[in-house]
Amino acid sequence: MLIDMHAHVIPDELAAIGGSGGGHAGPRIERGDDDDTRLLVTEQIRFSAASAFFSADRRIVTMDESGVDAEVVSPMPPLLDYALTPSDGRSLARRVNDFVAGLCAAHPERLLGLGMIPLQDPDLAAAELSEVAATGLRGVEIGSNINGLSLGDERFLSFFQEAERLGMAIFVHALNPTLRDRLPGPAVGSFGFAAEIALAAASLVAGGVPEKCPGLRLAFSHGAGGFPLMLTRAQYFWGRTWDEQPPAEPADGANGDIGPSPTELARRFYYDTLVFDRRALRYLIDMIGPEHLLIGTDFPAMPREQPAGKTLLSMGLAPEVVEDITWNNCFRFLGVTPLAGTAGKGR
């Protein structure tokens, strides 16, 4: 069995919210040149989306073509518009969430959904989590920074605590890189988003969110970029030893309680496998552990390997490791039992 936990959707129709008096207007969906195409339009982009983005039946066809048994679908990241007022952000989120819930209801044995919330107002976002849960969605997708604020900022702690209380999964997706002024234009897409999601992961660990919310189920897109490699340096400065050995004792022998290590905290979260290279995937398995990895493809924004998970399945991993990464971990991340008709399937 294989579950793609990083796959995106857009509504088939969406009117812009905001924009009155020349102010900021939220994303909108326009019809393309034919019934099988839509345009996602924001103040920055015009993205042409094929029917797999908004048609449940077409998604099932593409899943079957690439060997995917189920998908966890989430809003296309440009829909996460934190520049809107909180009230407009809530209206946008509810419209998108209703669409995602309806899409999943068409094929509940194959599609599970994540919604979105107006995290530009953390208190309002926390209150909206119950509304998201009421639609049947399993959690929410959030951006890697909120109008430039790091997710580890204490202003977002109450939101994460409420997600933990409700058992709602959180998927952190790279969004609006804050390093644009330091990278030439095209490099933002290749280097910038990887650096951005790495900063998001580092801010959450450094901000103590895994300690303060030990039951929080949270995952990062794109393997959290460079964050897993940054961990080795953080681990050294925590314990002053190489190779994740126990902390070195100071000269006076009084080490005290220095708390969990950075690697221990990082391993409380989940990471998708969209790292494009078996060597990077092997490092993720060795450093993070196979029990915290999830198949992710960014489909249909990016083409899947054919079949999905091809690189992972070619690495000669133990069967139980493959089963964890391809489906077991996804159910743990979502906090659900296997879907009827899918448990026990294998490839």
pLDDT digits (tens, 9 = 90+) for 198-219: 999 999 999 999 999 999 999 9
Is 41 strand, coil or helix?
strand
Nearest-angstrom CA–CA distance, 61 and 52: 9
Quote the mean pLDDT of the chain: 93
Query: For position 340, what pLDDT does the model report?
Result: 55
CA–chain centroid gap for 22, Å, is 32
Query: For position 308, what pLDDT does the model report?
Result: 97
Query: For position 326, what pLDDT does the model report?
Result: 98
Residue 250 binned pLDDT confidence (cut-offs 50, 70, 90)? low
Nearest-angstrom CA–CA distance, 268 and 89: 30
Residue 175 binned pLDDT confidence (cut-offs 50, 70, 90)? very high
In this model, does residue 23 exceed pLDDT 90?
no
Residue 181 binned pLDDT confidence (cut-offs 50, 70, 90)? confident
Residue 256 binned pLDDT confidence (cut-offs 50, 70, 90)? low
Query: For position 347, what pLDDT does the model report?
Result: 41
Query: For position 190, what pLDDT does the model report?
Result: 85
Residue 250 CB burial class (10 angstroms; 0-12, 13-18, ≥19): exposed
Q: Determine which helix (DSSP H) or strand (DSSP E) holds 96, and give its type and residue range.
A: helix 86-106
Average pLDDT over residues 228-244: 96
What does each C-alpha distance from 144 to 13, 85, 185, 190 come to in angstroms?
26, 19, 20, 16
Are the CB atoms for 80 and 89 separated by under 8 Å? no
> Nearest CA to 37 among 305, 306, 300, 296?
300
Give the angle subtended at the CA of 231 by the CAs of 82 and 126, to the nearest 5°: 30
Question: In the numeric block, which tokens belong to residue 45?
Answer: 């982009």
In this model, does residue 254 exceed pLDDT 70?
no
Residue 252 binned pLDDT confidence (cut-offs 50, 70, 90)? low
Are the CB atoms for 213 and 160 separated by under 8 Å? yes
Question: In the numeric block, which tokens belong to residue 336?
Answer: 């659900």
pLDDT-above-70 percentage for the chain: 95
Query: For position 220, what pLDDT does the model report?
Result: 98
In this model, does residue 342 exceed pLDDT 80?
no
Query: For position 189, what pLDDT does the model report?
Result: 84
> Nearest CA to 76 among 118, 42, 105?
42
Average pLDDT over residues 5-14: 97
In this model, does residue 345 exceed pLDDT 60?
no
Query: For position 251, what pLDDT does the model report?
Result: 52
Query: For position 315, what pLDDT does the model report?
Result: 97
Q: Which domains does the chain have, with CATH numbers?
A: 3-11+51-334 (3.20.20.140)
Cβ-proximal residues to 197 (8 Å cutoff; 6+ apart), any chain: 144, 172, 173, 174, 220, 221, 222, 224, 225, 227
pTM: 0.94
In this model, does residue 151 exceed pLDDT 90?
yes
pLDDT digits (tens, 9 = 90+) for 107-127: 999 999 999 999 999 999 999
Query: For position 346, what pLDDT does the model report?
Result: 42
Nearest-angstrom CA–CA distance, 172 and 275: 16
Task: Give one DSSP letter per residue of 264-322, joined into a string.
Answer: HHHTTSEEE---SSHHHHHHHHHHT-GGGEE----BTTSPPPSSTTHHHHTS---HHHH
